[in-house]
Amino acid sequence: MSAVLLVECSPRFARSRSRAAAEQLVDRLKRREPGLGLLRRDLAVHPPPLIDEAFSEAIRLPAAEHTPAQRQALEASEALIAELEATSVLVIGTPMHNFTVPAPLKAWIDQVLRIGRTFRRTPAGKAGLLADRPAYVVVATGGFIAGERARQPDFLTPYLGAVLATLGIREPRFLHLEAAEGRSERSRPAEAELRSWLDTHLPLAVGAE
Ligand SMILES: Cc1cc2nc3c(=O)[nH]c(=O)nc-3n(C[C@H](O)[C@H](O)[C@H](O)COP(=O)(O)O)c2cc1C
């Protein structure tokens, strides 16, 4: 099936910049490919379970050797991985929380980035087992994270890039909505920035505007 998996995790909803921009990005994808399906995974509404002892034991064993408790500990992981396997485009909308991804997104990563299931170890390093696909990551930050105005580190972008590469998703495109909060009352510049990013990375056919 040609479908987008939209993963969102902001604890805010109507006021969330990352959600609003990710929705617009999905909208653009659908305009470029009518008939594209959409699967939503809202990690703020349904946070994935944290890794427990049964999970960490289970991932070391072949499936045939799992106890019922270990099988159960992997259920959420299997369901979330199945969503990735069933879709052909990945869109992640995320705020930066304390220089990196919010906890529910980290919990999702811990469920889907699984040795022997979505990546394997090779002498050259970890190799992804998922089909490569287009991936887009919208990141909203309260401050600046790049250039001269940045006063903080950005662990989110390189981290998510490494996670996706390890899954087998090689060329994620990041859209950074920096200082998103400060512009809330005058959202036009952010709107223009978003529009220009979409026009560069996901242009519409002439006449389709
Ligand atoms: C708990 C928490 C931690 C945050 N940490 C950072 C941070 O490290 N750097 C930053 O620039 N903004 C930080 N922010 C601000 C958010 O990234 C910013 O408000 C962003 O717009 C939130 O995305 P949203 O609008 O999609 O909810 C933080 C916000 C919260 C609630």
The domain that holds 108 is classified in CATH as 3.40.50.360
Within a domain: 145: yes
Containing structural domain, residue 20: 3-201
Q: Are 171 and 137 in contact (CB under 8 A)?
A: no
Residues 101 and 160 sit within 8 Å (Cβ to Cβ): yes
Residue 23 covered by a domain: yes
- 194 belongs to a structural domain: yes
- For residue range 157-195, what is the model confidence (pLDDT) as tens digits? 999 999 999 999 999 999 999 997 765 555 556 788 899
- 132's tokens: 């490569």
Number of domains in the chain: 1
Gap between the Cα atoms of 10 and 144, Å rounded: 18
Average pLDDT over residues 63-73: 96
Interval 31-51 mean pLDDT:
98
> Terminal CA-to-CA distance of the chain, rounded, Å?
27
The reported pLDDT for the residue numbered 209 is: 64
How close is the Cα of 32 to the center of ligand 1, in Å? 31
For 187-205, write each residue's pLDDT tens digit. Answer: 556 788 899 999 999 999 8
Q: Which atom from ligand 1 is nearest to the alpha carbon of 145?
A: 11
208 occurs within a structural domain = no
List the residue whose alpha carbon is closest to atom 7 of ligand 1.
98
Domain for residue 206, yes or no? no
Q: Do the domain assignments include residue 132?
A: yes
Identify the CA nearest to 27 among candidates 147, 136, 162.
136
Structure-derived torsion over alpha carbons of residues 61, 102, 135, 161, reported in degrees to the nearest 10: -70
The residue contributing the CA closest to ligand 1 atom 30 is 97
Q: What is the pLDDT of residue 190?
A: 77
Band of residue 61 on the pLDDT scale cut at 50, 70, 90: very high
* Residue 208, CA distances (Å) to 3, 32, 89, 134, 183 in order: 21, 9, 22, 22, 29
For 76-104, the pLDDT digits (tens) are 999 999 999 999 999 999 999 999 999 99
pLDDT at 206: 79
CA separation for the pair 148, 151 (Å, rounded): 8
What is the pTM (predicted TM-score) of this model?
A: 0.96
Query: Do the domain assignments include residue 129?
Result: yes
pLDDT in tens, 107-134: 999 999 999 999 999 999 999 999 999 9
Instruction: List pocket residues of ligand 1, CB cut-off 6 Å.
Output: 10, 12, 16-19, 95-99, 140-143, 152, 180-181
Q: Is residue 207 part of a domain?
A: no
Question: What is the structure's pLDDT at 122?
Answer: 97
